[in-house]
Structure 1
Amino acid sequence: MMGTLGRYFFMRYVITTFWFLVGIFSLVFIIDFSEQASRLANLPRYSISGALLMTALRIPLILQQTIPFVALFSAMAALISLNRRYELVVTRAAGISVWQFLRPFILGSFLFGVLAVVALNPLAAWGTKRGEALLAEWGSTRNADAGSIPWLRQIYNGTDTIIGARSVQDNGTTLLNVTVIHFDPQGTIILRQDAASAKLEDGYWLLNDVTETRNGQLPQRLKTAQLATNLKPEFVQERLAKADSIQFFDLPRKIEVARSFGFSTNGMETQFHSMLSLPLLLVAMTLIAACVSLKFSRFNQSRSVILGGILSGFVLYVVTVLVKAFGSSGIVPPFVAAWLPVVVAMALGSTILLNQEDG
């Protein structure tokens, strides 16, 4: 009996979650397409099909941010629907406790979180990189995260050089809209090179479509130029890579490489533990949904109770993001930053349910 009932409840949760995802996908697609169309319309190679493709590439990353709310709302909707149809009433009358009939929902939310980590996250990382590449191909000189892209400094063969770019591809080994500034030993600027792109090769940067400007001389245009370097691709990738653009399965290796170069790994460690704790975060959201959805009401759930559940889920999400920021900045250990809100939320949800159901 419990096996059949459990499968029924599980399928109800899956179907409800699916339709929530379809609804959010459609809404986000329309809004993001409108935004992309207005933002990219002035690019030389812009087209409607290109804007549709750009939106499709961005959707997984946006959906990834909404996953906790989807879990909350789908659990609330499924439980309220079962209550209104007397199905939970009959289940309780059959002697099945709340902890038994909640198992399918908890299992469903946990599997939903696992699917988001192993499938949606890699797709979002790939879509982000591909979207940046498309922007560069269309002639965009603006990167959405340009303010977070650091400048590289190299000292090689007695020359001090600073390299900056507006856009980064291939995890940092390809730079677009590049500016290279050369200094002499006294710290005076002796040469500036502006290039359309720079590719890190073995022992040098290959600059394309270069304009060289020296003190007291007219600018000189070159098709290509080489800048000798001792920077290794692994170093540049770790220096320029952003934690949220790295696939979950690549994060452990990236963390080890970054440590070997002496870089701070707080951001990547926090991202890794956040993705690792996501399935349990969705379980916590399901427990919060159960706290406000299990009281029987034939026609109407209390609006204040439902609003309280939504606000509780929103507060949990905000606290999770806030503590994650603390972990990325090194204020809080990454492990604590990722797991503490989840553990506390699960404990509070379980405590409230115990008080409601068992007194």
Structure 2
Amino acid sequence: MRKNRAMHRVAVLALDGVVPFELSLAARIFGTAEGLYEVITCSLDGAPVATGADYSVVVAHDASVLAEADTVVVPGSEAHAAFTGPHALPEPLAIALGTIRPGTRLVTICIATYVLAAAGLLNGRPATTHWRHAAHFRRHHPRVRLDPGVLFVDDGDILTSAGAAAGLDLCLHLLRRDHGSELANQVARRCVVPPWRDGGQAQYVERPLPASSDASVAATREWAMRHLGEPLSLVTLADHARMSLRTFTRRFRAETGTSPGRWLLQQRLDLARTLLEAGDLPVDRVATRSGFGTAASLRRHFAVGVGVSPVAYRRAFRRGAAVAVSPGCFSGNPEPG
């Protein structure tokens, strides 16, 4: 029985070999949002689970709790990479997944993406996984629209994240989606993590270090964040960094995993969302303060980047409801036109 039916129940399914850090993420992030979520951890049979470290964990529930969950989180295990086809799931796991109610939100961390893919739940849908497994995943699950360059993908009722720390990004995104940026930022501060990380997985892919490390675009990114309402062309940013356009663009992508234009658009969208949630500022003023210039430009970029109009976004958060975002809209943003 549920302790509090007014609370959103998050069930975390611990499978053999689970990465301990990933197992703890949901409880840490959602548990910090006191009174809003009930987080419980289960194993398939309620027995202790051997982790990927040198210890096991004891859980208080078996997989029967999945049937009552509003969100199911599956942390990753190196064993998941063996789930390479529709018949690769162990029978107890397949049965447990089959008990999840339609409409329940499904969340995977790191290579737990293999679990949902092997269950056929990702066919034809966008998803991500750890970049080191991308080629292997594509070979064995070609029907999944894999994007290995992002930190997470929000496809509505199914959300997938990349490496372990990207699970933090995804959990904070869910807080933001459920209850707004203010709460997500508060939880991030309490956990001493950034509320939003720039770029995607590309910035973490193994690559040779630049020949010189004395030049960085970090100071220019910080400066741009303080001047989002002003015209910020690529030339302006490169001049601030005292670099040529070519050098600046190359260093920016090497440090963030994305282009200056895409990064700037994301920062402006985030600022616009915060302004819409926080007060009654007219849409045209929100557009000006966030750097979009006009309400029409804000609406156009908001429709692509968030999936709803600015007015609908504000109305949804004022009701305390989640915004229905477009499929994959948080897997990346188009270059600004």
- Shared fold (TM-score, shorter chain, > 0.5): no
Instruction: Give the number of the structure whose alpha-carbon radius of gyration is greater.
Output: 1
Give the number of the structure whose residues are more often helix, by fraction.
1
TM-score (ref. length: structure 1): 0.28
Give the number of the structure whose residues are more often strand, by fraction.
1
TM-score (ref. length: structure 2): 0.29
Q: Which has the higher contact order (CA 8 A, sep 6+)?
A: 1
